[in-house]
Amino acid sequence: MNAAPLTPAVLAGSDLFRGLPARGTGEALRQASLVTHTRGTRIFSQGAPVKHAHLLLRGRVKIVQSNAQGEQVIVRLIRPGETFGTLGLYVDGLYPAEAVALSEATEARWHAGTFTGLVQKYPEIALNLVRLVCERLQEAQARLREMSTERVEQRVANALLRFAVREKAPERGGLRLPLSRRDIAELAGTTMYTASRVLTAWQRAGIASSGRANVTILRPDALAAISSGRPSSQ
């Protein structure tokens, strides 16, 4: 698969460089490096020093946090046009989680010092970072509320819909997401057994189907009904 092209339009449409003047976009473009990762590659490790700012161009990346016992939870799924691993530059200089490629993925990256220079020169980047912090805080609050107040079926539906919201479905065959049952369980805050039970029931009902490393949404309207707590028509 060919690497995703990095163009001024791609940078201007990203969450990190939105609103930048053309000279700023051009400068960021010249200073970027492109890196392609195979599926399953650990892009950076939790607790490692932050060496780069990262922007995903193609593929999918999951951000995973682990505790001292090695238990893991997915805290965010990254899509093309989104930054990841960048906010650690402005906290303690360490990556707060690890990043793993869910599929073959291409990123643009900037050395930490280079990116800091861009932020100091172009305040639009700093404003974008503030907006990203607020958006991700809101998302974390929503997930915490879901854990406390919603049934597991609703949480699984929310996890799939949240990931699918910017995906483009093919005309036939549904919307395929590169998520394993373990990934879905971690996103929904449940066990893999429970997530598998829910997905099996949905497969029988024709709402979604799942394989070893992917799930396909067949009826997004039914998932939306489950997410909101309404009964879905079978």
Residue 20 burial by Cβ neighbours in a 10 Å radius (0-12, 13-18, 19+):
buried
169 falls in which pLDDT band (50, 70, 90)?
low
Look at residue 149 in the predicted model and tell me its pLDDT.
Answer: 84
Q: Give the chain's mean pLDDT.
A: 88
pLDDT digits (tens, 9 = 90+) for 23-65: 999 999 999 999 999 999 999 999 999 999 999 999 999 999 9
Mean of pLDDT values over 144-160: 87
- Return the half-sphere exposure (C-beta side, CA atoms, 13 A cut-off) of residue 212: 0
Report residue 84: phi and psi, to 5°: -155, 150
Q: Please report the domains of the chain, with CATH numbers, ordered by start residue.
A: 8-146 (2.60.120.10), 150-228 (1.10.10.10)
Instruction: Find the range with the poorest average confidence among 48-62, 74-88, 158-172, 193-207.
Output: 158-172
Q: Report how far residue 156's alpha carbon sits from residue 223's, in angstroms, rounded to the nearest whole number.
A: 9
Q: Report how far residue 50's alpha carbon sits from residue 54's, in angstroms, rounded to the nearest whole number.
A: 10
**DSSP 3-state of 19:** coil
How many percent of the chain have pLDDT more than 90? 57
Which residues sit opposite 72 in a β-bridge?
66
pLDDT digits (tens, 9 = 90+) for 60-93: 999 999 888 877 888 888 989 999 999 889 889 9
DSSP letters for 45-96: -TTSBP-EEEEEEES-EEEEEE-TT--EEEEEEE-TT-EES-GGGGTTSB-S
CA dihedral over 78, 47, 40, 216, signed as positive or negative: negative
Considering the entire predicted model, what is its pTM? Answer: 0.80
The label of the residue with tokens 């107040």 reads 149
3-state SS string over 172-207?
Answer: CCCEEECCCHHHHHHHHCCCHHHHHHHHHHHHHHCC
Whether the predicted pLDDT of 123 surpasses 90: yes
Of 165 and 107, more confident: 107
Of 188 and 123, more confident: 123
Look at residue 1 in the predicted model and tell me its pLDDT.
Answer: 46
Look at residue 3 in the predicted model and tell me its pLDDT.
Answer: 52
Q: Judge whether 44 and 85 are in contact, CB under 8 Å.
A: yes
144 is written with which tokens?
């915490």
Q: Report how far residue 105's alpha carbon sits from residue 117's, in angstroms, rounded to the nearest whole number.
A: 26
State which amino acid sits at residue 29.
Answer: L
Mean of pLDDT values over 219-233: 81
